[in-house]
């Protein structure tokens, strides 16, 4: 495992990290969470990602219970939460959004659910056009000055909005965002590779990225090459949207290219999931790739992607580009 700086900050994050979005509190109970997190930690993972909205707070509760059982030294790992949609089933207006009130109260609630004293990373999960940028930046700065958060960032914000937040911070002597959490995989490239290009400059924002969905919601795992498996999360209640997406014309076209990509993986003597994750790691502007798993075997499989990166020569990368030409956005 290698460790990369989170943007221009001094924080070192493992190049592969572990997230709980779909699984914790749904497919994964506390005991299984302990096993999966232990497998990731033993492989060198030091960043564990979460959010208030994941399973309406249950994901953070499960992770907190797992961390208590694991009893790791607190200064040996990084945990995050994200704020925007709230943790209630039907949130009231003050229980969601990026107002200073919700920023602070949601932070306290995430800390309580995870049984920790502070959050290492705290993300604005999406933009909130109803809240002035100065209020957001001041709210996050306040949390850092109180010692409740060490670094704040954004998720899926436009480059223009991140630049605005940075400018507001500099104008009022506040703390600017350190990182964004964008979607990034072989079929979804433009934001990370083009839109954010100017933000990586250390003389500007010096943005770090904690990218999500390296396997494109499972499409790049190759598990849908011959249909939808019975144990897939696509069949879980609440994930009808994912099934509809997989059955769409665009994703069916992508599925055919995944079959071709699987042959590239075979030629390299590796698997499709390892190839897809390694492809993300190849980008030097990716601080960490968030992986997910509902089985220890999946954690082990994902960690093996590190060994594939040196095999991704210019010729192999071009072959991947040729196969996915016209299908990436």
Q: Return d(Cα 264, Cα 215) in angstroms, integer.
A: 16
Helix, strand and coil content of the chain, in percent to the nearest 5, comes to 50, 15, 35
Are 174 and 168 spatial neighbours (Cβ–Cβ below 8 Å)? yes
Q: Are β-strands 3-5 and 12-14 bridged in parallel, bridged antiparallel, or unpaired?
A: antiparallel
Tell me the C-alpha distance between 265 and 254, whole Å. Answer: 16
Q: Please name the residue that has the structure tokens 């290698």.
A: 2
Task: Exactly one of 41, 54, 184, 224 is catalytic; name it.
Answer: 54
How far is Cα of residue 58 from the mean position of the Cα atoms in its chain? 18
Cβ-contact 67, 114 below 8 angstroms:
yes
Is 54 an annotated catalytic residue? yes
Active site residues: 54
């Amino acid at each position: 495992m290698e460790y990369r700086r989170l943007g221009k900050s001094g924080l070192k994050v493992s190049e592969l990290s572990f997230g709980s979005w779909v699984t914790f509190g749904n497919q994964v109970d506390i005991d299984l969470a302990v096993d999966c997190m232990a497998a990731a930690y033993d492989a060198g993972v030091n960043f564990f990602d979460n959010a208030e909205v994941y399973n309406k707070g249950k994901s953070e509760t499960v992770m907190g219970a797992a961390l208590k059982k694991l009893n790791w030294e607190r200064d040996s790992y990084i945990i995050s939460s994200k704020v925007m949609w709230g943790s209630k089933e039907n949130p009231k207006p003050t229980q969601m959004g990026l107002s200073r009130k919700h920023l602070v109260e949601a932070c306290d609630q995430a800390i309580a659910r995870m049984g920790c004293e502070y959050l290492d990373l705290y993300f604005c999960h999406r933009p909130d056009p109803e809240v002035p940028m100065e209020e957001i930046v001041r709210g996050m700065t306040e949390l850092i000055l109180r010692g409740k958060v060490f670094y704040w960032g954004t998720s899926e914000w436009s480059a223009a909005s991140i630049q605005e937040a940075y400018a507001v911070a500099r104008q009022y002597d506040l703390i600017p965002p350190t990182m964004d959490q964008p979607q990034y995989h072989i079929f979804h490239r433009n934001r990370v590779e083009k839109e954010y290009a100017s933000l990586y400059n250390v003389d500007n924002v010096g943005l770090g990225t904690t990218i999500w969905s390296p396997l494109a919601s499972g499409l790049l795992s190759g598990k849908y090459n011959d249909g939808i498996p019975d144990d897939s999360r696509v069949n879980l209640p609440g994930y009808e949207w994912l099934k509809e997406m997989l059955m769409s014309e665009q994703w069916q076209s992508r599925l055919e290219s995944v079959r071709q990509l699987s042959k590239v993986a075979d030629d390299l003597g590796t698997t499709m999931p390892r190839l897809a994750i390694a492809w993300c790691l190849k980008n030097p502007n990716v601080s960490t790739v968030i992986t997910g798993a509902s089985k220890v075997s999946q954690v082990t499989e994902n960690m093996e992607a590190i060994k594939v990166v040196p095999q991704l020569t210019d010729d192999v990368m071009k072959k991947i580009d040729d196969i996915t030409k016209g299908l990436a956005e």
